[in-house]
Structures are given as C-alpha cells and as structure tokens.
Amino acid sequence: MTLSAGLHHITALSGDMRRTHDFYARMLGLRLVKRTVNHDDPASWHLYYGDAVGTPGTVLSFFSWEDTRQAKPGAGEAVTIAFAIPPGAADFWAERLADEGVTFALDHGAASPVIALHDPDGIGLELVEEPVRGMSHPAASDVPLNRAITGLSGATLLVDDLEATARVLMDVLGWVESGRAELPGFERVRFTQATSTSQGARIELLRGQSIPPARRGAGSIHHIAFRARDDDEQADMVALLHKSGIETTPQIDRTYFRSVYFREPSGVLFEIATDAPGFAVDENVETLGQKVMLPGQLEPQRRAILAKLPEM
Ligand code: ZN
C-alpha cells in the first residue's frame, strides 16, 4: 500500500532569522511564501520558504531560535537537507557559491552531481541534480529559471534503530528501500517514493557506532513532515501507527495544513501534513510572504505580537 507521496516540508531552527533569510531567499533563490509566528510561541518567527507557490515537497521552514546555544547534530535527528536542482545546474551553483564566499564540495563522482555545503547555522545542505518530478514552479529570483532549485530532494536521518525506522517509512509512509551500503563507520540505507510525481522523494538513513544523541539548538533540523493527500489518508496512516504501538498527537490545525506529530522509533520527530489548504488560503499567490499572517486566535493580539518579534 503506497499512501504517502513523499516529503511535505522540513522545519529547522534558525539562530538569526535575518541571516537565514538572506541565505535562503537571496542566495539560494527560494521564495518566502509565508511570514508568520510560531503558533506555540507567538513571540518568535515561523517563516516558510519554497517554490513560487509553496507546493508540498518544496518547503523548508524555520522557527527563530535566537539567543540560545548552537545545535550539535547527532542520533535521533535529521542531519542533512537536500534540494533538487535541474540536471546540468551543478556548475552554475558551484560558481555562485564560490562568488558568495561559501565553502562547498562538488562531487561529480556520485550517480548525479552533488554539492555539499552548510547554511549559516551549520545545517548540512546538499544541492543534488535530479530530473524535475511533476510540475515545477521555480521562484523568481536572479537565479536563471533553468538553474533554480525545484524543491526538496530529500533528507538524511541519523538513527540508532535503523530497522525500526525503516519499518515506519515502508509500512506506514509508503517508502521503498532503494539501496544499502557499508560506509566507513556507517551503515546507509536509502529509500525512495518510486512513483511519486512530487519533489522530496528521497530519504537516507545512517546508522553509526556510538553516536551521541543530537543536542537541540540553533541549526537543528526540528522535524520532517510527510505528505498526506487529505484527512482520510492521514487518518489511515495514523491508524497504522497506532496499530504498531506508536503514539501520535491529535490532528492540529496549522492554518496551511493539518498535522499529526509522532516520534519514530529512533527518536526523530515526524509529522504527517495534509496537502490542503495550502499557503494561498489567507493571501493571494502574488503577494505571498509579504505580510505577517496570524492564525485567527492570535489576530486580536496582532499589535502586541508584532512589537515582540525580532526585527526582520
Ligand atoms: Zn512541520
């Protein structure tokens, strides 16, 4: 049974939202598709970046996590976020990163060219050449459209219980194992959404020996969200999780999607998010991301909330 269509979004913690915004919006050319606050902590930002319309599978969001300690990547968290770039675009990106003074490594030896780099908080990123899946709506920026990031490619998770995490990916979320390898100090298993027509169809699990657990802070990848077509498909996934003894939160309305959260057996925070209603539910597509949008229950406190938010 294949339920999921792949990744919906990934959420990380930013130590300096202005610096993060400059890196992802200007340098990587993603579109800020929603400017809102952390619903659970309205004094802090929650910014969503993606393609021109915030299509599921293209979205990376950040909570601001300022004035706190730096993250230490480790077991029980995602450690790398990969973006998809069109075939033939790696050399363009290598030149752009070099011009920006960003340290990176370009690997032409892999199945397709991969550029590895870090964002300003130290989050591991990859730009991976891969054919566009489904519709492409690249964001407008000074990156030529035929070179622009087309969405997420996938994520790499560091896990203790590789087989148990793999079972959740395969039996509940519809992923298929696509390869295993023994690397120095690591065992790696790759998963794909073979029939997916959307971006974000690649997950890599790494198991190392005696890797300490991650320490959350600025630069942590907070959670990985998977797509559910609608509430019914999400409910089917939740039923499968409960059947295998994994507890979930109730469904929570996140304005732009409806979410259920759970910790998979290795401790990584997973979310299942519905495709609907999407980022155009409270703004026009043309003006996405320009205004601070608040959920209905916070709207009466708009003035006080805006006054507390760090300057952007
Ligand atoms: Zn999320």
Q: Rounded to the nearest whole angstrom, what is the distance from the C-alpha of residue 145 to the centroid of ligand 1?
A: 27
Is 1 contained in some domain? no
Is 123 contained in some domain? yes
Alpha helix positions (H), the chain: 17-21, 90-100, 162-167, 231-243, 302-308
Residue whose pair of structure tokens reads 């952007």 in the numeric block: 312
Q: Rounded to the nearest whole angstrom, what is the distance from the C-alpha of residue 186 to the centroid of ligand 1?
A: 28
The CA distance from 51 to 296, in Å, is: 26
Look at residue 1 in the predicted model and tell me its pLDDT: 42
Is 171 contained in some domain? yes
Q: Rounded to the nearest whole angstrom, what is the distance from the C-alpha of residue 97 to the centroid of ligand 1?
A: 28
- Closest by CA to 174, choosing from 188, 204, 151, 194, is 194
Q: Rounded to the nearest whole angstrom, what is the distance from the C-alpha of residue 293 to the centroid of ligand 1?
A: 17
Q: Rounded to the nearest whole angstrom, what is the distance from the C-alpha of residue 109 to the centroid of ligand 1?
A: 33
Look at residue 4 in the predicted model and tell me its pLDDT: 58
Look at residue 15 in the predicted model and tell me its pLDDT: 94
The CA distance from 147 to 109, in Å, is: 20
End-to-end CA distance of the chain: 44
The CA distance from 207 to 162, in Å, is: 6
Look at residue 66 in the predicted model and tell me its pLDDT: 76
Q: Rounded to the nearest whole angstrom, what is the distance from the C-alpha of residue 158 to the centroid of ligand 1?
A: 19
Q: Rounded to the nearest whole angstrom, what is the distance from the C-alpha of residue 261 to the centroid of ligand 1?
A: 8
Is 135 contained in some domain? yes
CB atoms within 10 A of CB 263: 14
Q: What is the residue range of 80's domain?
A: 7-308
The pTM of this model reads 0.96
The CA distance from 306 to 91, in Å, is: 41
The number of folded domains in the chain is 1
User: Using an 8 Å Cβ cutoff, are 169 and 175 in contact?
Assistant: yes
Q: Rounded to the nearest whole angstrom, what is the distance from the C-alpha of residue 184 to the centroid of ligand 1?
A: 33
Cα separations (Å) of 109 from 105, 106, 112, 113?
12, 9, 7, 7
Look at the alpha carbons of 129, 135, 140, 146 in this order and tell me if their dihedral is positive or negative.
Answer: positive
Q: Rounded to the nearest whole angstrom, what is the distance from the C-alpha of residue 270 to the centroid of ligand 1?
A: 8
Look at residue 65 in the predicted model and tell me its pLDDT: 86
Q: Rounded to the nearest whole angstrom, what is the distance from the C-alpha of residue 161 to the centroid of ligand 1?
A: 23
Query: Digits of tens for pLDDT over the chain (312 positions)?
Result: 444 579 999 999 999 999 999 999 999 999 999 999 998 899 999 999 999 999 999 999 999 987 678 999 999 999 999 999 999 999 999 999 999 999 999 998 778 999 999 999 999 999 999 988 777 798 999 999 999 999 999 999 999 999 999 999 999 999 999 999 999 999 999 999 977 777 899 999 999 888 899 999 999 999 999 999 999 999 999 999 999 999 999 999 999 999 999 999 999 999 999 999 999 999 999 999 999 999 999 999 999 999 999 888
Q: Rounded to the nearest whole angstrom, what is the distance from the C-alpha of residue 21 to the centroid of ligand 1?
A: 18
Q: Rounded to the nearest whole angstrom, what is the distance from the C-alpha of residue 137 to the centroid of ligand 1?
A: 21
Q: Rounded to the nearest whole angstrom, what is the distance from the C-alpha of residue 275 to the centroid of ligand 1?
A: 12
Q: What is the CATH number of the domain that holds 35?
A: 3.10.180.10
What are 230-288's pLDDT values in tens digits? 999 999 999 999 999 999 999 999 999 999 999 999 999 999 999 999 999 999 999 99
Q: Rounded to the nearest whole angstrom, what is the distance from the C-alpha of residue 37 to the centroid of ligand 1?
A: 13
Residue 126: burial class (beta carbons within 10 Å; 0-12, 13-18, 19+): buried
Is 2 contained in some domain? no
Element (H, E) at 115: strand 114-118
Is 37 contained in some domain? yes
The CA distance from 124 to 71, in Å, is: 12
Look at residue 286 in the predicted model and tell me its pLDDT: 95
Look at residue 194 in the predicted model and tell me its pLDDT: 76
Q: Rounded to the nearest whole angstrom, what is the distance from the C-alpha of residue 107 to the centroid of ligand 1?
A: 31
The CA distance from 92 to 153, in Å, is: 18
Ligand 1 is an ion; residues with CB less than 5 A from it: 11, 225, 271
Q: Rounded to the nearest whole angstrom, what is the distance from the C-alpha of residue 15 to the centroid of ligand 1?
A: 18
Is 241 contained in some domain? yes
User: Using an 8 Å Cβ cutoff, are 198 and 153 in contact?
Assistant: no
What are 35-51's pLDDT values in tens digits? 999 988 999 999 999 99
Ramachandran quadrant class, 265 (left: phi over 0; alpha: psi -120 to 50; beta: rest) = alpha
The CA distance from 255 to 85, in Å, is: 29
Tokens of 201: 């169809």
Is 118 contained in some domain? yes
